[in-house]
Structure 1
């Protein structure tokens, strides 16, 4: 098992500079991370920096609140893919989820996945804001909408990934879709435990530290 192959090396802070993005991509190539995860405005630059590299380029859309219109999220996804994104991480509309507007949530996931086509789509459910039943229902909708992953967190909520949530999500989704744990993962021991619990990807800004600290 290559730990680095699970990691999406991430910078999503609003203060990220061009130099930060260039360094992120350089580190990802040097450490052979699975991917880099950036905001939409940095996609073109990251694509240029990752040219001729196996490192995947991951774009976030509807980030970090998930409250944009479905049409806006679709355009954002299409623009990111056009500019070179290999994968898309979208934020669920949490307000719709908590209002039990499940039809709207499903329609949005379905339409965005249709727009993405073969591009991997991960749906961020922001677990810190959802009840247990809402988390389970969100997983059902993600599966029905034909997305590829459920992702725990944006890293901008009140809490990131937890072992308890990953266990819950894995019990629900089984092997139907994959799981990405993100938010607050800063050390090797934690990362390895998430992998043991069944996650297929880890989103973190601490990838270099995770690899280099035993």
Structure 2
């Protein structure tokens, strides 16, 4: 359920390689890399079962439709299996959901059947605008609606995830990204309907999960031992 995120602008090649190794070791759903790193990620992760995702119109969403379509086509040709695109935030705030829908549909077409996750960047939107963005995304054929880039003033919130889950059909997933740094935060958002998570702390969260599962197994084992009758009473 985790898209391991490697999108910070200052990441060096060595840091990207280390992040790709983390995604492979922990079995992430995907690694979401900067467009320039798609080729490297595809080569490094070939055969691992970890898909390569990337971003379009990132992080501000203000590129033209033609630019986003061209970017998508180039990245798909380079091997990207999933596309996270940022909407034209200002146009949605203007009330022009039609333009937003047309742009998403054009990117979906350019992706050629690969999942497109639509980043609404909720920090800038009213609840009404979030709902409108979700509806436009679903009509345009998006696979997911996504809360945030992680580069605005705020990220995923419980209220936003619940609202987005309510605003799309079960056919559309909800991706929570931005500030999902702990296992408890992830599990809370999962209960509210998020089905994919963008995170940089993948290793810490999954190490925490492994420890909890081990503790649970140990507790169950000890509990079972305590409930066994003494040997002479069996």
Name the counterpart of 2:226: none
Report how far residue 174 of structure 1 moved: 3.4
Q: Which 4+ stretches in 1 moved above 6 angstroms? A: none
2:27 to 32, 56, 66: 32
Query: Do residues 79 (structure 1) and 64 (structure 2) align?
Result: no
CA distance in 1, matches of 2:32, 2:54: 6
1:203 to 194, 198, 204: 198
Cα-to-partner distance string for 1:42-70 (whole Å, 9 max, x where unaligned): 00011111011100101101000000111
> What pairs up with 1:46-57 in 2 under 5 angstroms?
46-57=41-52
Note the residue ranges of structure 1 that are not aligned, 5 or more in a row: 1-5
Report how far residue 176 of structure 1 moved: 3.2
Q: What SS does structure 1 have at the residue aligned with 2:84?
A: strand
Q: What SS does structure 2 have at the residue aligned with 1:180?
A: strand
CA distance in 2, matches of 1:80, 1:49: 16
CA distance in 2, matches of 1:212, 1:168: 30
2:10 to 7, 12, 15: 15
Name the counterpart of 1:116: 111
Cα-to-partner distance string for 1:103-159 (whole Å, 9 max, x where unaligned): 211110111111112100000000110000000000110011011100000000010
How many residue pairs end up in the alignment? 209
CA distance in 2, matches of 1:119, 1:66: 20
CA distance in 2, matches of 1:99, 1:172: 20
Note the residue ranges of structure 2 that are not aligned, 5 or more in a row: 213-234
CA distance in 1, matches of 2:105, 2:28: 29
Name the counterpart of 2:121: 126
Cα-to-partner distance string for 1:147-199 (whole Å, 9 max, x where unaligned): 11000000000100000000111111130311000000110111111111111
CA distance in 1, matches of 2:12, 2:39: 14
Cα-to-partner distance string for 1:13-46 (whole Å, 9 max, x where unaligned): 1101111111111111111111100110000011
1:178 to 168, 173, 179: 173
Query: Do residues 70 (structure 1) and 65 (structure 2) align?
Result: yes
Report how far residue 102 of structure 1 moved: 1.8
1:135 to 109, 130, 149: 130
Q: Provide the alpha-carbon RMSD of the alignment.
A: 0.9
TM-score by length of 1: 0.96
Q: What SS does structure 2 have at the residue aligned with 1:20?
A: helix
Structure whose alpha-carbon radius of gyration is higher: 2
